[in-house]
Amino acid sequence: LFPDAQSVYYGNVDPEDVQKLVQDAIFPRGPEGCKSTKLFIGGSDVDKADRIAEVALKSMFPPFELATVIDPSGSHTTSSAAVAKTLQVLLKQNLGDFKGKNVTVLAATGPVGQITSAIYQSEGANVTITSRRKERADSLVERLNRDSPNKVVGLQAATPEEVGIAIRDADVVMAAGSAGVQLVSLDVLKRYGTKCKVIADVNAVPPLGVENLSAQGDGVEVLPGVYGIGALAVGALKNKVEAKVITAAMESPKGVFDYKTGYQLAKEYVYKKLAK
């Protein structure tokens, strides 16, 4: 995207290292140099990346501010794309947006699950999140509900029957599990998902997260009246969103570019696509 840009990589960074790294970047460059200096926070540990981002942002102050992209393990851009794809299918089928819809996020305590849950919550959906262990679900519920009037509920979903209970009232199901882990069998979807309109999967490694849903599926019927979105369809939009987020940060003198930015850009793409 920006072949002339120069990158400096720092690995194995801990939160206590961040203030010095950030301020060593901003002070020598001065206010004008800060406008063309960008901070990218990645890594594979999403919780650690959040702590690093918190310290990094507190280490800046006007006029010493950097445009900051936050996307550990690609989780912010993947989540933005995944939620936007489910919105696209709902709108295409004339089913409306997320407000008042029942949404279940399976394996919600993983990187993508946490952020998709937060986006659905912010969009006015009635969100149920699951984990194999109830205490992990409860911990995420506490975090999501801390600053939101739209309360999320959490369930344990360690067995097919518990998965079925979690999805039985859902209009939208998001399978946000790890690679190679099936979360929803066709039998469970048939028996329990009678209200389901849209189901999405972010796992592209067989066995896929949703049985009978191809990774390339993009609004395809998994069962009559149940429209599926596979991981590669999510990934295609994720790549577009990632490019747009990076471009927005590169063109801005300051600001935070995380899943909120990513989802807004993904939504804009969806609405433009539907308007054609």
pLDDT one-digit tens code per residue, 196-205: 999 999 999 9
Tell me whether residue 226 is in a domain.
Answer: yes
Q: DSSP label at 226?
A: E
Is residue 1 included in any domain, yes or no? no
User: Do the beta carbons of residue 78 and residue 234 sit within 8 Å?
Assistant: yes
CA 122-128-134 angle, to 5 degrees, is 125
6 assigned to some structural domain: no
Verdict on whether the full-model pTM lies above 0.85: yes
The count of residues in the chain is 276
Q: What's the Cα-to-Cα distance from 115 to each of 110, 148, 155, 194, rounded to whole Å?
A: 9, 14, 17, 26
Residues contacting 165, CB < 8 A, separation 6+: 155, 157, 192
* Residues 67 and 184 grouped into a single domain: no
Please check whether residue 7 lies inside any domain of the structure. Answer: no
Both tokens of 211, joined, read 């049985």
pLDDT for residue 1: 82
- Note whether 130 and 189 are same-domain residues: yes
Q: Is residue 200 part of a domain?
A: yes
Segments of 121-217 assigned E as strands: 126-131, 153-156, 172-175, 198-201
Q: Are residues 90 and 205 in the same domain?
A: yes
Q: Is 212 found in the same domain as 124?
A: yes
Q: Are residues 227 and 100 in the same domain?
A: yes
Considering the domain architecture, whether residues 271 and 196 belong to the same structural domain is answered as: no
Q: Which residues span the domain enclosing 66?
A: 15-74+238-275
Q: What is the pLDDT along the chain (276 residues), one digit of tens a residue?
A: 888 889 999 999 999 999 999 999 999 999 999 999 999 999 988 889 999 999 999 999 999 999 999 999 999 999 999 999 999 999 999 999 999 999 999 999 999 999 999 999 999 999 999 999 999 999 999 999 999 999 999 999 999 999 999 999 999 999 999 999 999 999 999 999 999 999 999 999 999 999 999 999 999 999 999 999 999 999 999 999 999 999 999 999 999 999 999 999 999 999 999 998
Asked if residue 9 belongs to a domain, the reply is no
**CB of 131 within 8 A of CB of 108?**
yes
Note the pLDDT of residue 3. Answer: 87
Domains identified in the chain, total number: 2
Q: Find the CATH number of the domain harbouring 125.
A: 3.40.50.720
Same domain, 271 and 208: no
pLDDT tens track for 42-93? 998 888 999 999 999 999 999 999 999 999 999 999 999 999 999 999 999 9
Asked if 173 and 245 sit in the same domain, the reply is no
Residues 97 and 35 in one domain: no
| 234, containing H or E segment | helix 231-250
Q: Is residue 212 part of a domain?
A: yes
Do residues 139 and 162 share a domain? yes
**Same domain flag for 112 and 223:** yes
> For residue 79, which amino acid is it?
S
Q: Please report where in the chains the tokens 């933005």 appear, as a residue.
A: 80
DSSP β-ladder status, 218-223 and 226-229: antiparallel
For every residue of 243-259, DSSP letters joined together read HHHHHHHHT-SSEEESH
Q: What is the DSSP letter of 210?
A: B
Query: 226 and 96, same structural domain?
Result: yes
Q: Is residue 40 part of a domain?
A: yes
Among positive and negative, which fits the CA dihedral 144, 102, 199, 245?
Answer: negative
